[in-house]
Structure 1
Amino acid sequence: MKFQLKNVTRKFGQHLAVDGVNVEIDKGEMVGVIGRSGAGKSTLLRMINRLVDPSSGSIHFGDVEVSALKGAGLRNWQRDCAMIFQQFNLVPRLDVLTNVLLGRLNHRPTALSILNVFSREERIMAIAALERLGIEQTALQPAGTLSGGQQQRVAIARALMQGPKVVLADEPIASLDPLNAKIVMDALRDINEREGITVVTNLHTLDTARNYCSRIIGMAQGRVVFDGTPDKLTAETVQEIYGADSHGAGIDETMTSTSIRIPGAAAAVGVPASPGFRTLAVAEA
């Protein structure tokens, strides 16, 4: 099933955050959405998940008009369309395992959720999700004691517990160091490739979008100004998306890079190789 956004617009008062977006996303794609802060990227994802309603236009997933859903239908959609946030949105005082189990809330009766009663099968699923992300040893720690990279992996494990058809990630690596950014992006790509789940992620780093996403959507002032494969993202297109500085110069892509460069280091030490993220290796300066 594919996404279809038809002339989707969102206004906040007089401010036009998203302006007449028309996009189709096929099942199983991994799409990166890039653009300056304020370009409308986060608002676009929040409208797909229905955390924000469109001011006009419509959003469809297969035969379902997502933008018209209410009540149980809307809750089911937000279960099927998992959202991962930049700030993790975990409950810091609860242990990691319970935070992951919260991903099952829309799959179970309300009474069981209120009583925090989870089945043995659900607990096994949660541990398996944590093992998949390499953080099973943190299961009984309060989520607030983990590093940012670990917390984001907990958030991904929680999203997996929803059994989603789509994963939306809103700046999932913006607050992470390059190595943790790589781990998180590797996890999202693994979900996309292994389960065939559609992944749409907002990104600030152009090298990440180029290396992980089969398709890139560029936004500027609420509109889509680029939609294509990474090889079509030229310097001229990048300047259209990000604009120029006060001297008229275009953006230097190294300013948005997540590459780790240590002067004098000739080889990576303790950084696992990843052909899908070529720039995230320690290189000789």
Structure 2
Amino acid sequence: MFELKNVTRQFGKKTAVDSVTLDIPQGQMVGIIGRSGAGKSTLLRMINRLQEPTSGSIHFNGTEVSGLRGQGLRNWQRDCAMIFQQFNLVPRLDVMTNVILGRLNHRSTALSLLGIFTREERVQAIAALERLGIEQTALQMAGTLSGGQQQRVAIARALMQAPKMLLADEPIASLDPLNAKIVMDALRDINEREGITVITNLHTLDTARSYCERIVGMAGGRVVFDGKPSELTADAVNEIYGTDKNGAGIDETMTSTSLDNIKGKQDAVSRVMAASAVMR
């Protein structure tokens, strides 16, 4: 069981996360949604201890991880892998080396600095890349890959940590719909096959509905919705995202990553352009 108890984070007078309490059983795939500035990224960074809570506590299997220091903290950051929107790869290193760097907390720092890797580590890295369908990029420089490929390398690196929990901070925000689907399929596969808890921040409602068994909605740093995708009603969406100046709720298709919805939008634009050309 993973628990957040009244976790708050303040930056000066601004409260980014406000008294969040959540219990997440092992093996759940949880999507956190909300507007920019709702506190989603700050919450994940506190879970991984990249930022410290101002108050409250974080627990995993009876251990207060918010109080860990030294080796205990390094072990937690190994067990709680983080995938970032910006990929956080080393562009001038080849893909295999980037993936093996996920083993940093399992191996000698000196060997890592010297680039000395065992045959077993190389086999594990290739297996992780193969699972994500990009084993052919193993010897390429990471900076030469597309955004979708780099995100898959970042997932492979996280897998090398042998984590108990996987955090993904807007993992598809900069990806096209096809690569977004590939990345989300990979996260769901990890969740289902390994039973690893996955907590991911998402900016698209249809993705959260499709991939997550539980959705947490945040607004103003607070949790305003916590339930199944089927319980995410129009009223709940309005509470999370608010309404426009006319009181209308958001149009979910406008933020969709669905290939069908994207095609529909493109077709609609094409029809408008064609009609305009005829009028001219």
Do both share a fold (TM > 0.5)? yes
Q: Distance in 2 between matches of 1:263 and 1:219?
A: 29
Q: Which residue of 2 aligns with 1:100?
A: 99
Q: Distance in 2 between matches of 1:203 and 1:41?
A: 9
Deviation, 1:124, is: 0.2
Give TM-score, length-normalised by structure 2.
Answer: 0.93
- Report the residue type matching 1:242 in the other structure: Y
SS in 2 for 1:134: coil
Q: Which residue of 2 aligns with 1:154?
A: 153
Q: Which residue of 1 aligns with 2:263?
A: 262
- Report the residue type matching 1:224 in the other structure: V
Q: Distance in 1 between matches of 2:41 and 2:266?
A: 37
Q: Which residue of 2 aligns with 1:180?
A: 179
CA separation of 1:265 and 1:255: change in aligned 2, threshold 3 A: closer
Give TM-score, length-normalised by structure 1.
Answer: 0.91
Q: Distance in 1 between matches of 2:242 and 2:185?
A: 30
Q: Distance in 1 between matches of 2:84 and 2:97?
A: 18
Deviation, 1:257, is: 0.7
Q: Which residue of 2 aligns with 1:119?
A: 118
Q: Which residue of 1 aligns with 2:231?
A: 232
- Report the residue type matching 2:206 in the other structure: D
Say which one has the larger Rg.
2
Q: Distance in 2 between matches of 1:112 and 1:69?
A: 26
SS in 2 for 1:182: helix
- Report the residue type matching 1:262 in the other structure: K
Give aligned-pair identity as a percent.
Answer: 78
Q: Which residue of 2 aligns with 1:273?
A: none
Q: Which residue of 1 aligns with 2:190?
A: 191
- Report the residue type matching 1:247 in the other structure: N
Q: Which residue of 1 aligns with 2:61?
A: 62
SS in 1 for 2:263: coil
SS in 1 for 2:130: helix
Q: Distance in 2 between matches of 1:178 and 1:263?
A: 13
Q: Which residue of 2 aligns with 1:133?
A: 132
Q: Distance in 1 between matches of 2:113 and 2:140?
A: 21
Moved more, 165-174 or 106-115: 106-115
- Report the residue type matching 2:110 in the other structure: A
Q: Which residue of 1 aligns with 2:276?
A: none
Deviation, 1:17, is: 0.1
**RMSD over aligned Cα atoms:** 1.4
